[in-house]
Amino acid sequence: MDERFNRWLLPPLLALLFLLIVYQYVSPACPGAACPRRPPASAARRGGGPAEREEEEAAAAAAAGAAEEEEEEAEAAAAALPRLVAKFPFARGELCRRVRFDMRGRDVIVFLHIQKTGGTTFGRHLVRNIRLEQPCYCRAGQKKCACHRPGGDKDTWLFSRFSTGWSCGLHADWTELTSCVPAAMERRGCAGNRTLRNFYYITMLRDPVSRYLSEWKHVQRGATWKTSLHMCDGRSPTPDELPTCYEGDDWSGVSLQEFMDCSYNLANNRQVRMLADLSLVGCYNLTFMNESERNMILLQSAKNNLKNMAFFGLTEFQRKTQYLFERTFNLKFISPFTQFNVTRASNVDIGEDVRQRIEELNFLDVQLYDYAKDLFLQRFQYSKQEEHQKNRLKRREERRLLREQRAHQWPREEAAEVAVTEDYNSQVARW
């Protein structure tokens, strides 16, 4: 009897137990609105309460700031330039060269072309390789190009061999150009605009020994530049003031020893002479003052004029020259400059005694180039550091805006999670 009773009682008990288990999972813990609302998942991840949430957000901000500082330090280390040991002190204004070049106005770039400094290549870059609103018009078979200003103005923005020709004389120097260019531009342009013109002088320099050897090879092939005017204080030098080193039409076939032995060879210290104000030393009159005083004045004048030019480049640093020109004038070249390490000068095999002799003949140029190279590299480093700093600040601002954008997205995510939770509870209560 008891055994039969247990057999009938066991199935209902098991069914009741099963229903209790199901009810525990399906039914809410408390009825209707009395149930406490579950915190959103995002709040649970950030600690739940307001105090915990603030601590979590502060920790996240600190971690983001630390990560940002580490990223900036890594970027700065990656962009770090080789340490430059400066030889000459220059002020910030002498290193930061920025020209507001107004091509539509009356601004003019004047290129002082010193022989055998890569000026021909650089001059072609100016007329053929700059990205312009109105490119220079170059006819096939002609050396000169028409570099007119945008907007139909026939006035030119470039005074150089390949745009205006040798308007102030063949390879005119600083003394000639500064006294000739304004009048020459007036003859080409509209009258009455002289006071409105801004002239930006530029030039190229080269290692004195390489430049001297290159000029010797050029003269050996027949070059003379004898049509140069050498104007100074309104006149050209007399034959006694500037005698020639050869008899006849040219100096073809001259040996290096003969080239060095001519004491009045204009190849000697050419870069200093062409950049200095010759009127300070009596032009080409060597009896105007003693030689040591003359040399000192010429060198200092060349340094000052070079430093105050809008731009100068170095033949040995083509890519840096391109970069500094683009930064100075806010103009861009179409194709990158090419560094030619094999030249006629590099193919000349000379001994140490000959090299020393050339340096002695060009002792002023050696000092000028040392000064110019230091200034050039300091300007390059200053511009690069300025560019890196600008880019870091830009990236920092972009990261700050991104963090703010993410911070505005978090409240929307919380609201969405709360809505989902309430909807779930209402559905369970309905069941």
Residues with active-site annotation: 171
Angle at CA of residue 416, ends 414 and 417, nearest 5°: 65
Q: Please give the Cα distance from 246 to 259 (Å, whole number).
A: 10
SS3 159: strand
Q: How far is CA 36 from CA 43, 47, 429, in A?
A: 15, 17, 13
Can you read off the two tokens belonging to residue 240? Answer: 């006694």
Half-sphere exposure of 248 (CA within 13 A, CB side): 8
For the chain, give percent helix, strand, coil, nearest 5.
55, 5, 40
- Residues 121, 214: contact at Cβ < 8 Å? no
d(CA 260, CA 254): 10
Distance of CA 369 to the CA centre of its chain: 21
123 neighbors 162 (Cβ within 8 angstroms) = yes
Most distant CA pair in the chain: distance in Å?
A: 153
What 3-state DSSP class applies to 203?
strand
Distance CA 213, CA 254 (A): 12
CA 155-160-162 angle, 5° bins: 95
| CA-based nearest residue to 274, from 223, 215, 347, 197 | 215
Q: Count the Cβ atoms, other than its own, within 10 Å of residue 358.
A: 25
